[in-house]
Amino acid sequence: MKTELYFDNAATTRTAAEAAEAILDMLTIHYGNPSSLHYKGLEAQTRMDKARRQVSGLLGCQPERLTFTSGATEANNLVIFGAAAARKRQGSQIITTAFEHSSVLEPCRQLEKEGFEIIWIKPDPNGRIHAEDIIEAVTEKTVLISCMMVNNELGTILPIEEIVKGVRRKKKDVFVHTDAVQALGKLPFRLSRLDVDAVSISAHKIHGPKGIGALYLREGSRILPRTFGGEQEKRLRPGTENSAYIVGFGAACELMQKNSGVYMEQIRQCNLRLRELLAENSGVVFHSPEDALPSVLNISIPGIRSEIMLHFLEQKGICVSSGSACSKGAKSHALAALGLSDLEIDSALRISFSHENTLEQVEILSNAVEEGQRTLLSQRRKGKL
């Protein structure tokens, strides 16, 4: 059997054993409907309450400020459509960045069709968003700003604190949302200092299960619901709660809160070593800025299409990504927003780390990239590719 070398942790992570065990317990023992009035319902409700405290503990908010969703895609949709609908009469301008995740981009595109004006702020060629570009774009008509905390393809850290401060000075009541999926547990931030209205998070990027996430909403920050039905999640997200995955999410958050420092140090060392090794290879172009979050490293090997290299590495048991997993091989809009050439975009690889990666694995990856480069370029020269 091939050794598994998993470097696609920005797409998803392995579910921690503690989270998986908690999920199994909920599915097979505490399986009651949390809304039921009997003891089985109470068992589930109590465990869900604990999970809400664990998730809010990691995020740094009051537990009742969280609404559990099926993931960050749903949280992003809920907040963007819900905030825009609640403010339709106040203005029709929305500001976002050109390299948001598709679950922010697409709702914004949809709102554009419905009459909203969307201002797309572009990153500079180094992948950085400048706070002043967003602040300058704010007008009397601006009702919503959605700006991610860490970019999922590059690891770029966006200056959210500076953005919010500047925006509030210009127009106090703009609704500000941040997609913190790639930041949670990896980039220390204090929600109380950030002064944002809403934050989206997802469990499966921090060793929790797929299909569960949450939206933080500040007290008094109103959005309209998008689905209607039961009383669950304060009617903002009706439907029987996914109590098992909520509890799994809670367990993953508790682990992250305990170990984040150690995890990030391992990730930082892996990233640093890989950068060192790849820097010796003149055929490699780095796209992630040096001050990016170390969990993501985006590179190109011009001349070798991403998919070709991806499958070469895969034969050795190595998993990397050719871009965001959600775009399934489509050209990366994030890299295009940087103004990179088609040659660089078509050959981009995203390597993303977790604390489970080791320096030994990094050496294997670097050697495999070099071998791939030699083999594939020579095949191309011979007209075989």
Q: Catalogue the active-site residues.
A: 326
Q: Can you tell me the distance from the alpha carbon of 305 to that of 95, in angstroms, rounded to the nearest whole number?
A: 33
| Minimum distance of ligand PMP from residue 324's CB (angstroms) | 6
Contacts of 255 (CB under 8 A, 6+ apart): 16, 18, 19, 207
22 is written with which tokens? 């908690």
Nearer to ligand PMP, 100 or 197 (CB): 100
User: Are 84 and 212 spatial neighbours (Cβ–Cβ below 8 Å)?
Assistant: no
Nearer to ligand PMP, 9 or 142 (CB): 9
User: Are 199 and 221 spatial neighbours (Cβ–Cβ below 8 Å)?
Assistant: no
| Minimum distance of ligand PMP from residue 170's CB (angstroms) | 26
Amino acid code (one letter) for 353? F
159 is written with which tokens? 């200056």
| Minimum distance of ligand PMP from residue 109's CB (angstroms) | 16
Which of 183, 163, 201 lies closest to 75 in space, CA to CA? 201
User: Are 212 and 180 spatial neighbours (Cβ–Cβ below 8 Å)?
Assistant: no
252 is written with which tokens? 């993953």
Which of 236, 218, 215 lies closest to 226 in space, CA to CA? 236
* Among positions 9, 45, 92, 182, the unique one binding ligand PMP when judged by CB under 6 A: 182
In sequence order, which ranges of 227-358 are alpha helices (DSSP H)?
243-279, 306-314, 333-337, 342-346
Contact letters for ligand PMP, residues 207-226 (x by CB under 6 A): ------x-------------
Q: Contacts with ligand PMP in 33-92 (CB under 6 A)? A: 71-73
Q: Can you tell me the distance from the alpha carbon of 38 to that of 378, in angstroms, rounded to the nearest whole number?
A: 69
What single-letter DSSP state applies at residue 63?
G
Nearer to ligand PMP, 319 or 325 (CB): 325
Does residue 179 bind ligand PMP (CB under 6 A)? yes
Contact letters for ligand PMP, residues 267-306 (x by CB under 6 A): ----------------------------------------
Nearer to ligand PMP, 24 or 326 (CB): 326
* Among positions 15, 152, 266, 321, the unique one binding ligand PMP when judged by CB under 6 A: 152
The span of 21-29, 156-164, 178-186, 264-272 binding ligand PMP (CB under 6 A) equals 178-186
* Among positions 103, 242, 288, 321, the unique one binding ligand PMP when judged by CB under 6 A: 103
281 is written with which tokens? 């290879």
Residue nearest to ligand PMP (CB): 71
Q: Contacts with ligand PMP in 307-336 (CB under 6 A)? A: 325-326
Q: Which residues bind ligand PMP (CB under 6 A)?
A: 71-73, 101, 103, 148, 152, 179, 181-182, 202, 213, 325-326
